Chain A
């Protein structure tokens, strides 16, 4: 079990183990109270000053909640929909229709899979072109029936393989970018874990882009960047600093709209609470976006991406 935790989480875990041992033992209430206070202050201390590389590790945490973990907790009713109607169902992307407090919502998200068997089935959350084509089919379904779309991004990237190239990985991503720009329903994007480059963006064009506090979004993985720059993937921590890939960075660049706060210690320490926060963000944002006329919504969406870029002109 120990390899499921990060090094900098160890002091927190030691205290929590002590707490768990004392729970229910008569006469230990005072000690328990003290320990709980202590663990809170340790968490605050560790999490108040995370490096970008530590945030990368949290975004990839083996215990990090994935799309289906949130679906279970956010939706009152959910049916998964499968397949791109052309080639195959790609389990690295899940899609479905569901209800949240009486509102019908379409969801599309990456899914990494929890145990080894599921990870293999889901290709560690790295989609093939058919995954993106499934996503697009479901976006069109949402548009046809005027249902708002939620997407959840958590992928190392689009799958780099022979078959993926044969079936047009580039085309599948490009087409989604183009089509999502003018889909006539609200699209709300959450980066929940790893926002791995084009493979993330391919379901990431929307009216509101939110990032969970300890998620990342980057043009290239820190390892990939490090091996190009310094010919050494072990320099990834330094690359993460240079690439500026955290929610705070992207908010400061004006690329995302908001940061969704995580429970103290990260989303994996209290999945229900995290899901609750996301749910209220979804409901609030849907209300907000549904009050905007559709043509205006699309103008704003295009304008949002149209404005991104830093350059100088004489």
Chain B
């Protein structure tokens, strides 16, 4: 079930406030780095909220789109002479076009069949990225050019360190992405998506073009994933095919469902938890996989709607 935890404005306000206030408590620049990783993941996961939470479709291959966005930023500047920012836009367009072509046949499938088809797509993308070594550098990865915006900002008097800049920039991108997703939720398209999530037959009866709207959700979420991949590539200035790998797809879906795929804020919370978990656990590195697997199972067994909606339910339930 999709539930609104708060109005659009509250969600955005909470998100923006947390992003703006958190840096005052950062003891070192390392935290800016973790923060920007959370925002980049949060952006991809916001896209999945549209696909999984709104439209009720699953994809185990969205890292493929992140890979396309990331490698667009690495390849287009070298081969086409594009500015990295334009390269990111090109990557997003390419992802949208591929999602449009692949989505049409894939989205006719349901449940596990949809899962395996999207999984196959993601694996094919990551395979091309790691095998076409003369173009992509293969499994060793390749360098990504500097975005150059930081130098521009410095020229107008805003001097940010690299990690601070990427914290602010990806934070801004996340707020923008969340704003768009929340707007979509209340738009006619959003209503159509929620209707087909509830029941495809019922949605079709009231005149919703089910195939069309599923495709819309798929394309939009692919653009989110692509932009997220581009931001990751640009801030790391280096990229490997892992960004398109199966595990990355799984992480993305887990983040979305962990926090609560029905709510943007919940999904971003999921991204925050799953991004920080490995950082916290580096002390017990051997236990990292064990803990990750355990968290995934426990949350899905005991909080089926995800962390945030389940907790909200419980608080509300107490009042009744």
| Chain A complexes with chain B | no
Binding site for A on B (CB under 8 A): none
Interface residues of A (CB under 8 A from B): none
